[in-house]
Amino acid sequence: MPKISVLDYLIHQLEGTLTPDMETHMKYPTAISSTLAIGITAIDHGTATVEIAADALVHGNQQGTVHGGLICELADAAIGTAHSTLMKEGQSFTTIELKINFYRPVWKSRLRAIAHPLQSGKTITHYSCEVKNEEDKVVAMVTSTVMTLHEAKAAGR
């Protein structure tokens, strides 16, 4: 059975129409997303929205708020998912830069990360990602640079 595109795979996954014979060349769900219970809620060509039920009792830091690393991972998951929709077989990618600004603390909230490209090239793509709480207030803003790897450089990734 031929593999389907990552975008088609994720659309089927999101719609609940994924069948056992449907495969893509990337691993979904990712191990980290499964471990942290990060779920995809919207997907399109080059864009993605992912969510997590964040709770300081589970994901807390020493101050008693949700750890910034979890918020960063949520944004990175959205950006990686968005970029994976652009990948063809024989391609992979890696984050080469990520910057996060935190705007407000989180104690318990359903967090949503919305990623979209700011500029896309053959090798380098720049992304922006807003992380919002369930009140639709921005918790953090992330920018990231992702490098697409081709053929031999993508092998094993």
- Distance in angstroms (rounded) separating the CA atoms of residues 75 and 96: 14
Mean pLDDT of each 10-residue bin along the chain, 157 residues long: 88 94 92 96 98 98 98 98 94 95 98 97 96 98 95 66
Beta bridge partners of 88: none
User: Are the beta carbons of 79 and 142 closer than 8 angstroms?
Assistant: yes
Q: What pLDDT, on a 0 to 100 scale, did the predictor assign at position 150? A: 83
Fill in the DSSP letter of residue 60.
B
pLDDT digits (tens, 9 = 90+) for 1-41: 569 999 999 999 999 999 999 999 899 999 999 999 999 99
Please provide the CATH number assigned to the domain covering 6-154: 3.10.129.10
